[in-house]
Amino acid sequence: TGLITYDPGFGNTGSCSSAITFMDGERGILRYRGIPIEQLAERSTFVETAYLLITGKLPNREELTHTSVMLNDASLLHEDMKIFYQNYPSKAHPMGILSAMVNAMRSFYPELIDLEEDISITFLRLISKVRTMAAMAYKISKGHKTVYPRPDYSYAANFLHMMFDNPVIPYEMDYDMVQALNVFWILHADHEQNCSTAAVRVVGSGQVNVYAAISAGISALWGPLHGGANQAVIGMLEQIRNEGLTISKAVAKAKDKNDPFRLMGFGHRVYKTYDPRAKIMKKMCDLILKKDRPAENGGMDPLLDIAMALEDAALADPYFQEKNLYPNVDFYSGIVLRAMGIPTNMFTVMFAIGRLPGWLAQWREDALDPLRKISRPRQVYTGETITDYTPMDER
């Protein structure tokens, strides 16, 4: 009732109160439960950070061991779910498959008893199985045998094992890659009320089951302006290389409002300075891109040179300066993922695995909020006030 305020894209609307993630877009600050992202990237693991986001505190040794055991126990997929994969067209996008599989989990694991049960079993089940599903989708797309997880590997190492081990060439674990993967997932683990998290909260507010809410988050993340940007950055860098575009031509195209070309991996709704995650991701390029390895296995990547030249040119350009457009997390993350051997169409899936703890933490916070209401925004109506029905032969 009363005057409705129109806020396109909800840029100035607080949709919830939250104690999970703190962001200061002007100063480039990101903290999970108060802990700076830089400290977590340097000292934590993805599993520990997931625990922090969901429960609000770092686990002690016993809690962390218990979580790791539970994640291992839950890592297998129901064999009947494997059949789903076989009926997808071979070119199906893995994000579409992932959101459908997560939604299907509700039918395979319906036993939600209460909210505490959700947290201890369902959350860990989701975190563990999403990783298995992603690796399995990749193996099946290649026509290869799927690989089972190993109980002696950590969460991140197991993902690389399930992705890249095969009966002919066993995967030799590379612990620089394991570290880079942990950092990649930590940096993506939460980002307050972004498009996919807002989707999880909106869908969850109707009190649907958690699988359906997470599935909605995965669908939202798929878009090129959101999680799809890491894939789009590589597409853009390849376009620059393949078409022989000079850096200044690429910057000029990005500024031209009549050209749909944008600098993917640049700009952010909240950060008006360098995205703190992009700084850490750039450092990860140095860790894993080594001159003495072949390019497809973490060796120097010519796209990194293009990316760095593009960053320098854009940051020196008044258009980007005036609009406060800086590299975001996706600008360098694609290069890190390529070095790990992750195929480009799996990049957004990698983001989804990382964001899952954030979605779960936000879903839980919402479910426990005594002031929670079903999401039901209003609108500013611009249509006809009233018109009469026209019979068919008078139209």
Q: With binding defined as CB under 6 A, does residue 263 bind ligand CMC?
A: yes
Residue closer to ligand CMC by CB (options 28, 298) is 28
Shortest CB 90 distance to ligand CMC, Å: 27
| x-or-dash string of contact with ligand CMC, 170-209, rule CB under 6 A | ------------------------x---------------
CB of 324 to ligand CMC, least distance (A): 8
* Minimum CB distance to ligand CMC smaller for 160 or for 199: 199
Catalytic residues: 268, 330
Cβ-closest position to ligand CMC:
267
Of 164-172, 284-292, 328-336, 379-387, the window that binds ligand CMC (rule: CB under 6 A) is 328-336
Q: Is 9 in the site for ligand CMC (CB under 6 A)?
A: yes
Q: Does residue number 225 form part of the binding site for ligand CMC (CB under 6 A)?
A: yes
- Contact region for ligand CMC (CB under 6 A) — 73-81, 107-115, 208-216, 222-230? 222-230
* Stretch touching ligand CMC by CB under 6 A, among 95-103, 257-265, 339-347, 383-391: 257-265
265 binds ligand CMC (CB under 6 A): yes
| Three-state SS letters, the chain | CCCCCCCHHHCCCCCCCCCCEEEECCCCEEEECCEEHHHHHHHCCHHHHHHHHHHCCCCCHHHHHHHHHHHHHCCCCCHHHHHHHHCCCCCCCHHHHHHHHHHHHHHHCCCCCCHHHHHHHHHHHHHHHHHHHHHHHHHHHHCCCCCCCCCCCCHHHHHHHHHHCCCCCCCCCCHHHHHHHHHHHHHHCCCCCCHHHHHHHHHHCCCCCHHHHHHHHHHHHCCCCCCCHHHHHHHHHHHHHHCCCCHHHHHHHHHCCCCCCCCCCECCCCCCCCCHHHHHHHHHHHHHCECCCCHHHCECCHHHHHHHHHHHHHHCCHHHHHCCCCECCHHHHHHHHHHHCCCHHHHHHHHHHHHHHHHHHHHHHHHHCCCCCCCCCCCCCCCCCCCCCCCHHHC
Does 262 help bind ligand CMC (rule: CB under 6 A)? yes
Structure tokens at 357: 């703890």
Does position 325 interact with ligand CMC (CB under 6 A)? The reply is: yes
Q: At closest approach, how far in Å is the CB of 196 from ligand CMC?
A: 8
Tokens of 264: 């993917």
Contact mark string toward ligand CMC, 285..324, x via CB under 6 A: --------------------------------------x-
The contact mask relative to ligand CMC for 229-248 (x = CB under 6 A, - = no) is: x-------------------
Of 165 and 275, nearer to ligand CMC (C-beta) is 275
Interacting residue ranges for ligand CMC, rule: CB under 6 A: 9, 194, 225-227, 229, 254, 262-269, 323, 325, 328-330
